[in-house]
Structure 1
Amino acid sequence: MEATSLVYYFLLVSLCIDFSQNETSAVARRHRRRMRSGGQMRSSPAGHRSPRQSRTELPAPVAMVPSIPLINIDDSVMGVFDSLIGLGGHESSYSVLPGKKGHCTANGMIMYDKAVWSPQPCITCLCSKGEVICDTTMCHPLKCPKTIIPAGECCPVCSDTASSLDPSIISLDDISEFSGDSPEPNDLDNAKVLSSARPQTEKDELLRTEVVELKDKEGHKKGEKKRKRKGKKNRQKDKARRKKKPITRKEAAEDDVQYESDEDDSTFRMPSHFPIPVPPIEAPPLPAACSALDTTVSCINAKLTQIPPISDPDLTSLDLTGNSITTISDEAFNGIPNLEWIDLSKNNITSPGIGPKAFKVLKKLKRLYLDGNMLVHIPSGLPSTLEEIKINDNHLHAIDEDGLQDLKNLVTLELEGNKLSEANVSPLAFYPLKSLSYLRLGRNKFRIIPQGLPATLEELYLENNQIEEVSEICFNHTRNINVIVLKHNKLEEHRIAPLAWINQENLESIDLSYNKLYHVPSYLPKSLLHLILIGNQIERIPGYVFGHMKPGLEYLYLSFNKLTDDGIDPVSFFGAYHSLRELFLDHNELKSVPFGIDEMRKLRFLRLNNNKIRTVSPERICRTHTSDDDVHDHSEEEENVESRLEHVHLENNYINTRQLSPHAFSCIRSYCSVVLKPQKIK
């Protein structure tokens, strides 16, 4: 009887052991399936993290610490993870989500205890007794000569074997890849022993599993698992086929494992693959003080210290006036290659701060303004398309023969307010400028007219220099010159050569104001129309000085000089009687209206104010008729009617208006045009 009882007892114990082993094997199989699914999720985008996880930031990488192998109930290795305690004893900053019955909740899904998944690339999470523990995946070093990183993966693989690897499937023999740590020798030995000890039936459990979802009448979901196993012969064929043909990502997605939660009675499906959206590349926003309108960006007084990074091929105008920009790098305009106009005036740009290729990308640039900077020489490598350059108020101290090379389309060049002179400007400096017509060199240190002026030049401005002489050869090659401005220099009439400009056929305007002239210069150009002599010390207008001009002088400005009655002859205006339109003789020392004004039939504007005139004779401005010659009277009447005087200024003289002749201004159409008040008192 006792023997029979012992037999029953041993049978009962053996049945319990078998049942326990079956249960633990089932749990192990579920863990391994979750591990496989977790490996597939490593390519999931960051947008699928749980809300609490999305608010946390990845911790900075810390020094490697010994790995802790996690052993399942059935002694199978589930994964090797870094220690949760880093240097200094600080815990991981990842969120810990509590669960029930040892499970974890992640992104609204139930994870079993010891489950492994990846919420985003390069992040691996573990469910451990109701807590979610995540850490950054580290890659172990490879010894192959060439490596590549497969799409959606974090760690590199050898390039010769990468094509045969499926990044969505993780081999159990390479579990150390989860943590990225180089496993300890003991861990490797344990993994090899455990891997070799697995029965073939456990490996077969990793084959395809299909979940069939069913709903009962009460609305609950039920899953019926159907496992399809292949025979030994089929497995061998499948293995051979996989060796020949690499597994594609599409095939791996078809092999995704789907499983259900038994305890919560709800079906849980792991998505096969999430496409990672590539965000569009957007240009950085403009600074707050900048504005954009159509094809123009304006950053005036925006307190910029560098050219803002702009990427807009349609932009044609850029205004950066009044900032604190000091440099122009070679890449400054790479994003705006179609610029036609750049204004960099009033900055702090220096010559060393401009890259040699800063303007190379600008193939359509026409206007470049660099006024008010700190340049010591003209920037090199300027585009040949330029038509206008302004570098006024800088520190330019030289222009060599290559300083303006390749600028064959340049029309306007402004270099005022620098330190240029005939000593540091090469005679060949302007030779490359085959289209230049407008040149401003005012407020420099020239003592003579610069040599080598372009033949195409039409307007030359040399005011506020120290010019003392105009030689015969200055304008020999500038046959198209139309305007010459030489005001505020040190010219005297005898230092102007007789043949300096008399033969110019297109020269119409000369400004010699504020020099050291004592009389109106002789040998003026034949084609001259405008002569400005304001602010000299002129005491005399020589006779016939305008007699050789054709079609004749139209504008003569002699204000603020020292003209007296003796300095103006009856023939001083000969040659201008039928052409002169404006005559300024104000602020001189005249005591009477000069001779010849009554002969000027086209005169419209006459200034005689601020002189010492005491009376206005009737015949000096308007001619009177003779009573005994009717025919002569008639002709004179016609001439008076033909007078075009519109404005006459005689204020600030010593005229007694009550003693004026009624015929003094008879040729003027409106007496409102005659200004007589105020007058000075003795």
Structure 2
Amino acid sequence: MKRIIITGFMMMAIWQPLKVSAQARPLAQQELASAKVYDNVPEALQQKEDVYRLNIRQQTYYSFPSELCELVNLQFINAMKNKITDISPEISRLQHLQEVIFSENELRELPASFYTLEALQEADFSHNHFTELHAGFGNLQQLQVLHLNGNKIRTISPQIRRMRALHTLNLSYNHLEMLPSEIGKTRKLSDLSLSQNQLREVPQALFQLKALKSLALDFNQLTSLPKQIGKATSLQSLLLGHNQLKAVPEELTQLDNLELLDLSYNQLTHLPAALGKMKRLRTLLLVGNNIPEAEQERIRKALPLASVIF
């Protein structure tokens, strides 16, 4: 900044640096866990550089105030259970943010600047009014956990393939009718919940996810499963209850790490002959199907270590 000084007939221009807020280094996780949680906004604004954790839950905010974006060292925000309809574009100033909780608000979209928060690792936007998993999430290369359950999501951007760090994705209780094949590119995804949607089929690419351990597809409208399901060999929990399945592919028995399989309330009359290969299966739910007694007995004998419930 240039300051003009007039002395007699002389005028001097003196350059002075702009005053900027000091940004400390981000706290390590252990330090962050013990850092003070500020829940009084006026107090937080008086100690801007010292605020790393902010809790404004249940305080009837209708928007996320731009002045809070002056807390440039923030790493954690809990703003759940407000009435927030919009977030200030100034949120891009919070480049140390690692976790945000905006669940149970009235959000329909996020400002473009939100997708520049490169340090973000966890985001909870459950129970809002989003209609899509926006392409901008693909820019968040450090994002590991994303909760979007309880929204009105109908589409998932193909840019999901760029979410290289994502390991937990909750999209249950939405309006999804299909999934993009690009979901098979999220290589670290280990926990995927798609319960309570309107899915009629799932892409083959979904079962290319070698890290996938838990998959919830219950309460959808599935009528069949692709043979590629047998490639998801890390699966430990697979929920397929409350669909319209009349059969499951033989390849299902290749899931030799599976411990829980829910096939309840479908239209099944039998299961694959090689069921006995699933040595680690401990719970098999088959309530609400049309399986004859002879087939029930065969299934029990094939899985002597499992709890099989008809």
TM range (shorter): 0.7 to 0.9
Provide the secondary structure at the position in 2 that maps to 1:475. Answer: helix
Please say if 1:355 is aligned against 2:84.
no
Aligned counterpart in structure 1 of residue 211 of structure 2, from 480, 484, 496: 480
AA aligned opposite 2:237: S
AA aligned opposite 2:151: N
Q: From the superposition, tell whether residues 514 and 447 of structure 1 become closer, same or farther in structure 2 (CA, over 3 Å).
A: same
Q: From the superposition, tell whether residues 514 and 464 of structure 1 become closer, same or farther in structure 2 (CA, over 3 Å).
A: same
CA contact (8 A) 2:241 2:266 kept: no
* Alpha-carbon distance between aligned partners in 1 of 2:266 and 2:139, rounded to the nearest angstrom: 45
- Per-residue CA shift, 1:324-366, capped at 9, x if unaligned? 21222443231x3222211111112223xx22222x3323221
> Within 5 A, what are the aligned runs for 1:573-652?
573=300, 576-577=303-304, 580-581=305-306, 583-585=307-309, 588=310
Please say if 1:460 is aligned against 2:192.
yes
Aligned counterpart in structure 1 of residue 101 of structure 2, from 364, 369, 383: 369
Q: Higher RCO, 1 or 2 (CA under 8 Å, sep at least 6)?
A: 2
Q: From the superposition, tell whether residues 307 and 512 of structure 1 become closer, same or farther in structure 2 (CA, over 3 Å).
A: farther
Aligned counterpart in structure 1 of residue 140 of structure 2, from 392, 395, 407: 407
Provide the secondary structure at the position in 1 that maps to 2:294. Answer: helix
**In structure 1, what is the equivalent of residue 178 of structure 2?**
448
Please say if 1:392 is aligned against 2:140.
no
Aligned counterpart in structure 1 of residue 280 of structure 2, from 547, 552, 557: 552
Provide the secondary structure at the position in 2 that maps to 1:484. Answer: strand
Provide the secondary structure at the position in 2 that maps to 1:532. Answer: strand
AA aligned opposite 1:444: N
CA contact (8 A) 1:463 1:489 kept: yes
* Alpha-carbon distance between aligned partners in 1 of 2:273 and 2:46, rounded to the nearest angstrom: 64
CA contact (8 A) 1:520 1:538 kept: no
Gaps of 5+ in 2: 10-33
Q: From the superposition, tell whether residues 326 and 517 of structure 1 become closer, same or farther in structure 2 (CA, over 3 Å).
A: same
* Alpha-carbon distance between aligned partners in 2 of 1:418 and 1:316, rounded to the nearest angstrom: 29
The structure whose residues are more often helix, as a share, is 2
> Within 5 A, what are the aligned runs for 1:484-495?
484-492=215-223, 495=224
Shift of 1:385: 0.8
Shift of 1:308: 6.9
**In structure 2, what is the equivalent of residue 331 of structure 1?**
67
**In structure 2, what is the equivalent of residue 256 of structure 1?**
none
Shift of 1:313: 2.4
* Alpha-carbon distance between aligned partners in 1 of 2:255 and 2:193, rounded to the nearest angstrom: 20
**In structure 2, what is the equivalent of residue 432 of structure 1?**
162
> Within 5 A, what are the aligned runs for 1:258-273?
none
Count of aligned pairs between the two proteins = 278
**In structure 2, what is the equivalent of residue 421 of structure 1?**
154
**In structure 1, what is the equivalent of residue 18 of structure 2?**
none
Gaps of 5+ in 1: 1-146, 149-157, 162-292, 589-682
* Alpha-carbon distance between aligned partners in 2 of 1:516 and 1:405, rounded to the nearest angstrom: 33
TM-align CA RMSD: 3.0
* Alpha-carbon distance between aligned partners in 1 of 2:103 and 2:59, rounded to the nearest angstrom: 12
Provide the secondary structure at the position in 2 that maps to 1:568. Answer: helix
**In structure 2, what is the equivalent of residue 516 of structure 1?**
244
* Alpha-carbon distance between aligned partners in 1 of 2:177 and 2:43, rounded to the nearest angstrom: 39
- Per-residue CA shift, 1:112-153, capped at 9, x if unaligned? xxxxxxxxxxxxxxxxxxxxxxxxxxxxxxxxxxx99xxxxx
* Alpha-carbon distance between aligned partners in 2 of 1:575 and 1:411, rounded to the nearest angstrom: 39
AA aligned opposite 2:163: L
- Per-residue CA shift, 1:213-269, capped at 9, x if unaligned? xxxxxxxxxxxxxxxxxxxxxxxxxxxxxxxxxxxxxxxxxxxxxxxxxxxxxxxxx
* Alpha-carbon distance between aligned partners in 2 of 1:405 and 1:310, rounded to the nearest angstrom: 35
Q: From the superposition, tell whether residues 312 and 455 of structure 1 become closer, same or farther in structure 2 (CA, over 3 Å).
A: same
Shift of 1:566: 3.5
* Alpha-carbon distance between aligned partners in 1 of 2:271 and 2:47, rounded to the nearest angstrom: 66
Please say if 1:297 is aligned against 2:24.
no
AA aligned opposite 2:162: P
> Within 5 A, what are the aligned runs for 1:337-348?
337-348=72-83
AA aligned opposite 2:165: S
Q: From the superposition, tell whether residues 518 and 510 of structure 1 become closer, same or farther in structure 2 (CA, over 3 Å).
A: same
**In structure 1, what is the equivalent of residue 227 of structure 2?**
498
* Alpha-carbon distance between aligned partners in 1 of 2:53 and 2:201, rounded to the nearest angstrom: 42
**In structure 1, what is the equivalent of residue 55 of structure 2?**
319
TM-score (ref. length: structure 1): 0.37
Q: From the superposition, tell whether residues 376 and 310 of structure 1 become closer, same or farther in structure 2 (CA, over 3 Å).
A: farther
Q: From the superposition, tell whether residues 294 and 367 of structure 1 become closer, same or farther in structure 2 (CA, over 3 Å).
A: closer
CA contact (8 A) 1:546 1:552 kept: no
AA aligned opposite 1:411: Q
Shift of 1:574: 5.7
**In structure 2, what is the equivalent of residue 243 of structure 1?**
none
AA aligned opposite 1:531: L
AA aligned opposite 2:106: M
Aligned counterpart in structure 2 of residue 526 of structure 1, from 255, 260, 281: 255
Shift of 1:520: 5.7
More moved, 514-523 vs 363-372: 514-523
Provide the secondary structure at the position in 1 that maps to 2:204. Answer: coil
Shift of 1:573: 4.3
- Per-residue CA shift, 1:384-426, capped at 9, x if unaligned? 111100111111123443x11431111101111122123xx32
**In structure 1, what is the equivalent of residue 271 of structure 2?**
542
Shift of 1:561: 4.2
* Alpha-carbon distance between aligned partners in 2 of 1:507 and 1:439, rounded to the nearest angstrom: 15
AA aligned opposite 1:536: Y
CA contact (8 A) 2:199 2:221 kept: yes
